[in-house]
Structure 1
């Protein structure tokens, strides 16, 4: 690689020539003046010398003279490259002194390289002119050199004076510019970290005077814990410049963000100076923070609005120009399907045209409209919204846009409807509870009567001939009494609130039990017919709820029945539905079902009524005679049992209800085994019974039954007198038999006081109605014998004998 020696005191020129020559395959050596060049050439011979003319220490002319007089260097070609000596005399003198080419700056790089290549090639070929100093007379050459030098020095002096004036003016302008800059400008020693100068803005920004700044440690003005600072300093050390953001510290210790730009440069005296420009970003950061907060608030507000409100905007004609995500999600429409349309696209059939016109007149008058509105989704479902329409009025006329803010209240409306249904159901339940309470009270009194009828008729049969007419008559009395007892028991069982208890039951049993209640409570003019299979049809159901379903349908059939020849038929069969069976009711799974249908010959119903028959609160009865919840509750019970209910009806012909319940495996059903009659334990002696009942006929009946069985009985109709007798002779009695419901003192209270007198005395309570509360209270008092008063003729002696036997053991 050919080596070129470049001589120039200007660093920029050296850099430029080095880049051009190296990019064209030359190695470059550098010197700042003639003496340095001569010394360098002695140790490293170049293939070419390129020199400027005006330089310190030794100028280019002198260098050329000594170059050509040096035996070791004179054969190396040289080129003069100058911007100072540019006239023809300068060129002639340079060539006389031995230069092989003369180039005036600036010259294009390609042309410059071409000259270099040409000179080297000619030197190699020996085709350069043999020019050497001394060919011209020495005095003439010296005179020419001196004249040229004086001329150039004078020119250079003039240029220097001009440059100095310009420099002073430039410095003044720079100082004025820096001093009046709104940015903070500092100059510092990058090595010693000492502040050399700051402008007015820096003094104001940091809160220090110029005197306090100068020679201060520059590191004290930056937060040294800021990790960005070390990165920026490293970048400046590596490249001489940097830009970024750091945290500065004011004189009062306050931290504030700044944008920093720093460049390191060298002075003519070769001193490195770091120029630092700082821009206070406090206001900008605050604005950015405010903007970010505003954006976050807006996003939060938008999210809140999308989550809780449905927003839309329309123009003056009601054409939608904006909708939010919430409205799209609720309505099911895409944004592009709504924009450009009116709100009529959401119109439901819940409001008539007058309501729409009233709303439009209100907002066109510039008034806000508020209310509840029902819309329809893209799929056709209804949804309710609480709506506020806000008109945006103009100063010159009517509103030119409207904003609609809506809140989806569909769940609330459904909840209100359900609450109404529940309240109505609660009223019905309360009525049923009242009926149950009334039934319990009636049952107690009625069972006293039934107990007297059955008990005395039993005693009478023992007094007469078994084959006479009187015995037959008494048998009929007892049969009627037992029927009355069963009817009362069914009414009490049906009206008593119970939790749902699913069990495998025969549908026929539920029908028979319900018909017994219906025949006892509905008019006798109704003819009940049943067509039930002999083999039990098993379903898994709550027996009480199934009876409620049947009784409700029977009651509705009675209400629709004609005045004469009313008929209600009940039929039962087993059907098996395939998934493709068209006869299968909708939403019913394939499989075997018990099909129970109830038909009447009543007034029937229209198709419109039939379609709404199961809707809550729908009724065709006059106000005050129906709640519209009976058949709604029926359907709910059937569906809860995984079944289905359908209805057929024709006006003036009649109605048929079809009920379907999933069938259970018939093989698991076993007919209940009849219990063997219990044997009454024999009495030891004649046990003495303390008998208490406020009903004299019942007292007489119980006394007679017990006396016939071998008991000694001391009867009382007043609990207080019975208690006094026990207190007087507590060891005389073997057992207490007391009624439960008595005035002044209940049987339970009497039992408590008796136990306080004699804790070991067996106690039995007899009542016309035994509730779950009575059973619990009796258990608490360790009373083990509770007797149904209507069954005393069958159970009294057995139960008291068992009680005495248990107490003895």
Structure 2
């Protein structure tokens, strides 16, 4: 604390300093004597400012007080005038800026200093509080100005700060989130995943960017988020800051684009696919007509039986060929390309070859060399799309010349370090180095307007990279092109693809169980009844409402098999009504489909069904599926 004495006579100054020193509050006070206000170089920021009234004209004293008042911080100082003037003149001094008018040499300096110190401490605290509030408000405004959701967590993974965008993502105000963790607001498996990712960043101190899924507990709607995370230190603690980008719509558009490109590839092969289906259908129909005519005879001779067996075997083989081509088409049309797991590369390549076989065989000589290869991690739909795009690209590169002069070679082998290598080579027109540099750019195409989107090879490149592999191209004009896909193989011991549930072995011949079959196609019910009537007592109905009526009257069944998509009441509607009528039967109900799906149906199957049986099916697969449903 500073006590500044301005123009105070020496004798009086000695008395004032003695009075200041006599108090406990004044022992640490520094006393400074100056001759006048003009020698005070800077504003007096705190302490006592004491001046002397030598009498004389009041106006001269008032001017001196005004000057001193202008040189001080009024809220942090005390201006004391040592004067013997009456009350009226003392009031004039107070109006000029004096805080006190006391008789010389004054007294109670310790009390005055203690009161000033308390005022200074209170003002400092209030000033700090105001500054803290201003800083807090500034930080809040800055965070809320960030359009992306942002949060800060402490070392215990609790939220300590966030912006309004993050509150909107979580669906809760900041007051409900602060001091709490993910486990109180999101599904347990997602909260555990968030915790592991956060903990890795906390421990390593290395920033991370990862894709995460956030599900709203109330609606069940999931969103795909990309979160960037990093750590920082403050007040001796470590914190984690995260910024979120919602990529749900982008992922949905990407899926739609991938599906559209797949269907465009299949669309260019529509005539060939129809040929692949119509050829076996032709002899299936002819053979079945022959069987019908043969069975119309009163009796069959011993010579006719071998031929009858041969005709039936050909019909079954043709039906299997149609099933294979339909299965390949359905695989390419599926929208479940987000599912990842072990993929049989050979099956993906063979499926793509079946779709394009007719076009290939009429345009070129096809040479396939496919060695046994280990599975890779990825998605069968996406890998099939890559292969199909490369085959279509090879077809488009072939010039209009006799088929025997064109060549397409497909090679599948195990490469170095256990990698799986796929090559598609053509002897077509080839590419210039300039075209090769741009071949994977989106929307780049050398095809005429209207004949290509320029997305096929770009999508191939993206899908292969997503599977941890790479795609290479080598080409020369008038010589041909080779596309080479290299994918990392799964380690030995990896289980088979989980896409189909592991069901029980073929049912043994035991006492028949009652099976309720619901399908709007009477022929399906008739064929299933004939197929398994030695194993199950099949009761077939064509309307799900009829099935519910029979169940409501007390009729009991060991298992229920229901078509997913039916007019009137669908399989989804049936299962939901069954949950109300006989919930114990829901676990014994399986759905079957011929491949027709809506987004609602796909989501429903994942939540409610014990499994999905795809048509057409043979006896063994049907029996295995039903056994999976039995109690």
For normalisation by structure 2, the TM-score amounts to 0.50
For normalisation by structure 1, the TM-score amounts to 0.40
Q: Which has the larger radius of gyration?
A: 1
